[in-house]
Amino acid sequence: MEATQIRIQDLNVWYGSQHILRNINAAIPARGITAIIGPSGCGKTTLLRSINRLLEETEGMRVSGQVLLGGVDIYRPGADVTAVRTRIGLLAPKPFPLPMSIYENVAYGPRIHGWHSGHLYEIVQRNLEAAGLWDEVKDRLRTPASRLSTGQQQRLCLARALAVEPQVLLCDEPTSALDPISAQGVESQLQRLKQDHTVVVVTHILRQARRLADNVMFMWLGELVEEGTAVQLFTSPNDPRTKAYLAGSIG
């Protein structure tokens, strides 16, 4: 639980002349759940997307600094972006099922990497079970994924992300599009996943952060104000801005 999985060093992000992330330095421990909290527009999504290099899909974003995964900088020249993204998965706030069947959605990752063509079915089943969706879809694996409900789609996206066996799973407001029951389902899946994955969750819901997080990072206007264990940060925050945010008086 203590080893550092991801170390972020002097990370800066600009969009044009707008300085979106300022000198972020942080350590995300291996396994367990790290929650990123902070007011809207403070850069949580940007930070998450810079950790799996998805940020460069937005034209005009400039990144400097380092993100070390297991000690190796993912931004080093010649780094293989696809390998980075395979090891660090990202779950978007809104589910985007690929235009194919439920089965093919989960099999997509293993297929494009050319893995295990022999026992794809087992992989699909295992990951749908891990995402808590198997029982609901096992009789209609061949139907288009777009026919699932939003909550089911979100769990399908989770299964799809897990199928490429990432070490790290980044979740950007994974329950924001869901009803309370589905949200609870996703939360309990994340809690199981943290046993052998490093999970990073961006959330607006402080109670969710309290429920889930082992560690918390608080961001404010593009800066990382404070990070620490959940207990420490929630009970005795050091920075006045963190205090004010937790008390609900800012943000």
Partner 1 sequence: MRRIAAKLFNPKSDRAGSDPRRSRRWWKRVALDKSAHYTMRLLTMATVGLVPLIAGALLWRAWPILATHRLTSLLFSQAWHPLRGEFGFLPFIMGTLWVTTVAMLLAVPPSLLTAIYLAEYAPVRVQRLANPVIDLLAGIPSVVYGVWGVLVIVPLVGNQILPFVSRHLGALALFRTDNPTGFGVLAGGAVLAVMIFPLIIAVAQDLIRAVPQGLREASLSLGATRWQTVKHVVLRRARAGVVAAVVLGCSRALGETMAVLMVVGNVPQIPRSIFDAAYPLPALIANNYGEMMSVPLYDAALLGSALVLLLVVLGFNVASRLAVMRLVGTN
Ligand X SMILES: Nc1ncnc2c1ncn2[C@@H]1O[C@H](COP(=O)(O)OP(=O)(O)OP(=O)(O)O)[C@@H](O)[C@H]1O
Q: Rule CB under 8 A: which residues touch partner 1? A: 52, 54, 57, 59, 82-83, 85-86, 89-90, 92, 94, 96, 98-100, 108-109, 112-113, 144, 146, 157, 160-161, 163-164
Asked if 217 interacts with ligand X (CB under 6 A), we say: no
CB of 137 to partner 1, least distance (A): 18
Which ranges constitute the DSSP H helices of 65-119? Answer: 81-87, 102-112
Distance CA 92, CA 76 (A): 25
**Shortest CB 101 distance to partner 1, Å:** 10
Residues 1-40 that bind ligand X (CB under 6 A): 15, 20, 40
In which residue are the tokens 């937005």 written? 58
The neighbour count for residue 222, using CB atoms within 10 Å, is 20
Stretch in the footprint of Mg ion (CB under 5 A) among 19-27, 42-50, 54-62, 227-235: 42-50
User: Least distance in Å: CB of 8 to partner 1?
Assistant: 19
Roughly how many angstroms between the first and final C-alpha of the chain, as a whole number? 31
Which residue lies nearer to ligand X by CB, 42 or 106? 42
Please state the closest distance from residue 130 (CB atom) to ligand X, in A: 26
Nearer to partner 1, 125 or 146 (CB): 146
Nearest approach in angstroms of CB 241 to ligand X is 15
**Count of beta carbons in the 10 Å neighbourhood of residue 73:** 14
**Which of 45/215 has CB closer to Mg ion?**
45
The C-alpha atoms of residue 14 and residue 190 are separated, in whole angstroms, by: 31
Residue in 5, 34, 45, 175 binding Mg ion, rule: CB under 5 A? 45
How many of the other CB atoms lie within 10 Å of CB of 142? 10
Question: Token pair of 165, please?
Answer: 């066996």
Query: Which helix H or strand E contains 89, and what residues bound it?
Result: strand 88-91
Beta strands in 16-78 (DSSP E): 18-29, 32-37, 61-69, 72-73
Q: Concatenated DSSP letters for 151-167?
A: HHHHHHHHHHHHTT--S
The site map against ligand X for 169-208 (x = CB under 6 A) is ----------------------------------------
90 contacts which partner out of ligand X, Mg ion, partner 1, none, CB within 5 to 8 A by kind? partner 1
Min dist CB 44 to ligand X, Å, is 4
> CA 91, 14, 20: angle at the middle one, nearest 5?
65
**Ranges within 41-80 binding ligand X (CB under 6 A):** 41-46, 58
The contact set with ligand X (CB under 6 A) reads: 15, 20, 40-46, 58
